[in-house]
Structure 1
């Protein structure tokens, strides 16, 4: 399993390759809720999301032969972009398999970074079948988006930065999909501050981790378009790490409607002057929705990504909240 030393080692390894993003109080949210609220600006990471941490930690531990063979992953967009960036930095080549639900702006950026892009089916699970085929056929090295120790440890470095900036943090609101981010942050934060609560946040439309908690085992869900597109996809029926870690360490998982996610995006822009994609805004949205429950601070909110199509962002700001908008 993942431990604090693995996360500390990851931090030393990736330090020269990623940004240590700001961890700052939010005056607007702190005033609104009358408790200290901290924003972790991980959307300002080099590739626009936290995913660069895990991808970099994983790729830096490959052998020269593995780098030469090339890496492959399934993705809802942000992991693919991060892996393409990290692969190019070490002279490797990435192949990224995605479903037709991935927004076109994310697909285009992955192609710009030189990756071989494969669009397969209507779900991440369908795209994963192509990954499995190419691993066997072309001897590529699979670096999955969440269920991998090096990926989880890389994402956990965010937790170290939060604790260093605010050692007395009481609650951390973290977006949860496959669970790599939530698991990594939970291990880091609770290893250093055992009484802290880690609360996952996802969307109502196809939240695989929440459904798996309810079933008591990894469970497949139907995928839908959502403003929080990066939180789509399953956790894998053969999940080895993130399901158990999240099951053990998360206090709760909150589910949000599309309207609530849109409200989080709007608040981030109008009050914080930050452009966030839906998955990056779910922590703010959870607070605004009232679903977090009793609030005692400090509360840290992970702003996990900014890679939203700007046409869609404008539509949301103008009050048009159709998640099937053509900008997808």
Structure 2
């Protein structure tokens, strides 16, 4: 059991260590959700995510003998940075096992905080196997990313801040990986504000909790295939699972398109940079407008995103939002035909980004050319207007 007293003790330990992150209201997200929405900006936390809270509380409670043996952790990046920073603040040696495809900025930041990083396996779960083996071999203390009461209590300090910052909060939406953050919020609000509904969110292609809660025990996720590496965890932790199961917490799933659209919306309209997992709560609001009682607090759990991933996600989000249009057009194979097409596209206000000119397709007539054009638009309505204008002008568009 994690009690409110445990969370208050954790808050005392975190004084001067973790930031009291701001809560920003968002008119854009509120309009989509149909209720007032506030964003709890843990992306602005030290080390870029909420993880410093739980990691520091866990490590601050170690005995002198345990501290002398050092600590070991496994993480895709956020917990790694939280452990590395906490170890530096507490003067401990830290080894962190990270998946081989972990984001380069997260690896670099973890090393810069002073931890020794080992790249192993293709997932957090595989890295955790290596971390456990290292702990058994060396005596280092394993700092689990979510499956420990101290970690859960540390994450629960976010709920203390939310209640003070948004006193009339009715719903809190939380990204869920292993479940430590959600469990901390649920355990805290169960005593402090039992009237507040807590909803967890997982990526649909990395969702262990819905089936686990239905079966009554932690169950492996059938797949781990998501851009949201911060919540791509194959198995719920027993400690957070017990908290969420006892409370009957609902855990929803969101698609990759939902995540990318949410990340883009938060960046464009709220001027906040988050990683895909950090956008999960907003993705849930956008995917199910009208289903949440307001005021809603959506926790932006982290902002540690690889610029290369950011570029791909933004492109994906633009496409999902109808801001890109891929046109396949057949035109006559005559001089000036392509120039006419581009002129007519320009007249619609669409911005041409890429053109492919193909003469050798089986389905083409001898006097036809296939043109593939990628254009930037102003949204779905503009996409429809562009296609209508081209069809009206006599162009043959194919799917």
TM over 0.5: yes
Report which of the two structures shows the higher radius of gyration computed on alpha carbons. Answer: 2
- Cα separation, partners in 2 of 1:36 and 1:122, compared to 1, 3 Å: same
Distance 1:104 1:224 in 2: 20
- What is the DSSP-based 3-state SS (H/G/I as helix, E as strand, rest coil) of the residue aligned with 1:24? strand
In structure 1, the gaps of 5 or more residues are 323-328
Distance 2:248 2:36 in 1: 21
Distance 1:250 1:28 in 2: 31
Q: CA RMSD in A?
A: 1.8
Q: Which residue of 2 aligns with 1:326?
A: none
Distance 2:42 2:115 in 1: 23
Residue 205 (structure 2) pairs with residue 208 (structure 1): no
Distance 2:201 2:34 in 1: 21
Q: Is the 8 A contact 2:33 2:290 kept in 1?
A: no
- What is the DSSP-based 3-state SS (H/G/I as helix, E as strand, rest coil) of the residue aligned with 2:205? coil
Distance 1:133 1:321 in 2: 43
- Cα separation, partners in 2 of 1:308 and 1:11, compared to 1, 3 Å: same
Deviations 1:92-135 (A, max 9, x none): 11111122342232222212222122222223222222122111
Distance 2:283 2:185 in 1: 20
Q: Which residue of 2 aligns with 1:182?
A: 182
Q: Is the 8 A contact 1:183 1:249 kept in 2?
A: no
Q: Size of the alignment, in residue pairs? A: 319
Distance 1:165 1:313 in 2: 30
Distance 1:308 1:70 in 2: 28
Distance 1:321 1:142 in 2: 41
Q: Which residue of 2 aligns with 1:160?
A: 160
Q: Is the 8 A contact 2:264 2:318 kept in 1?
A: no
In structure 2, the gaps of 5 or more residues are 320-399
Distance 2:36 2:10 in 1: 29
Deviations 1:14-33 (A, max 9, x none): 11111000123222222333
Distance 1:114 1:321 in 2: 38
Distance 1:87 1:244 in 2: 28
- What is the DSSP-based 3-state SS (H/G/I as helix, E as strand, rest coil) of the residue aligned with 1:97? strand
Deviations 1:30-78 (A, max 9, x none): 2333421111011100100000111111111112322221101121210
Q: What TM-score results when the alignment is normalised by the length of structure 1?
A: 0.92
Structure showing the higher strand proportion among its residues:
2
- Cα separation, partners in 2 of 1:74 and 1:222, compared to 1, 3 Å: farther
The structure 2 residue matched to 1:279, chosen from 272, 277, 280, is 277
Q: Which residue of 1 aligns with 2:250?
A: 252
Q: What TM-score results when the alignment is normalised by the length of structure 2?
A: 0.76
